[in-house]
Amino acid sequence: MFDDIQDVDPAKQDGRWRASAEVGVLIRSGNTDSRSWKGKIDLQRDTLMWRHRGIIDYYRQERKTFEGETVTDADRLFLSGQSNRKFEALSHSSFFVYGSYEDDALNSFEYQSTIAGGFGTRYVFNDDMFADFEIGPGVSFDKRRDTGETDTDLIVRLATNFDWQISETSRFTQLISTEIGDDNTRSRAVSALTANLNSRLALRLSLTLTHNTTVFEQPNGRIPEKLDTETAVTIVYTF
């Protein structure tokens, strides 16, 4: 399940890989000296029987204090990949295999990774609106930052992706996923409004929420927040 998924007709696809690159930079100087940047690459391939998606998403924010020290306020890398095998060429139902890896320097874990598989289906409201739903079991691997221990947990992954083609030049997408486990439940929501500038360039406003039900006190005494929020305005280039 990906926030950039597009409703393409697989019967018209040639099986080639397609990609889009997204970038945003904010630099402030004067009374506030800070820098933040976001980069994202989305890969996709559609055939009669398969859908493939891949995401590389990186966000970093840092600032200088009055004492001249550099403080990192955000440093997060998220990778994911998914393949869907349809039951039939024109079927809306499929089996999926999903994998993800996240490295967030400011949360309770050095990394969080997931492998899951299961059943997915698509419900088409009309020509401009559809939603994908997926459910399946999986395994999560989380390495705690405070102790260095790696926790392995059986999970159930639930995900839905809503896609609305508002007009010829604008699209709204909403991704919601949750991975339910005994030790931790990780949820992710991505809302994105994209407006085309031309056939290749687009402007995107996005809101990303990441939530962990379990957090641990760090050696420096800091207790990470359970909810991380990221708001971004970026330029998207489609290959």
In tens digits, what is the pLDDT along the chain, a chain of 239 residues?
A: 333 434 444 444 557 788 999 999 888 777 677 888 899 999 998 888 898 999 999 999 888 877 778 888 889 999 999 999 999 887 889 999 999 999 998 889 999 999 999 999 999 999 899 999 999 999 999 999 888 899 999 999 999 999 999 999 999 999 999 999 998 999 999 999 999 999 889 999 999 999 999 998 887 788 888 999 988 999 999 88
Environment class of residue 43 by beta-carbon count within 10 Å: exposed (0-12), middle (13-18) or buried (19+)? Answer: middle
Query: CA distances (Å), 187 to each of 27, 105, 140, 175, 210, in order?
Result: 30, 18, 13, 11, 6
How far is 5 from 17, CA to CA, in rounded Å?
Answer: 13
Task: Tell me which CATH code domain 10-238 carries.
Answer: 2.40.160.40
Count the Cβ atoms, other than its own, within 10 Å of residue 154: 12
pLDDT confidence of residue 5: 39
Which of these, 139, 144, 132, 155, lies nearest to 86 by C-alpha position?
132
pLDDT confidence of residue 13: 53
Q: Are 125 and 87 within 8 A, CB to CB?
A: no
DSSP string, 179-222: EEESS-EEEEEEEEEEEESSSSEEEEEEEEEEEES-----TTS-
pLDDT confidence of residue 71: 83
pLDDT confidence of residue 174: 95
Query: CA distances (Å), 2 to each of 5, 58, 69, 104, 218, in order?
Result: 5, 15, 37, 19, 32
**How far is C-alpha 137 from the geometric centre of its chain's CA atoms?**
19
Which stretches of the chain are assigned E, i.e. beta strand?
A: 18-28, 34-46, 50-64, 70-86, 93-104, 109-126, 129-144, 150-164, 170-181, 185-196, 201-212, 227-238
Q: At 132, list the tokens.
A: 């994908």
Q: Is 8 left (phi over 0), alpha (psi -120 to 50) or beta?
A: beta
Count the Cβ atoms, other than its own, within 10 Å of residue 208: 21
Which of these, 116, 136, 50, lies nearest to 85 by C-alpha position?
50
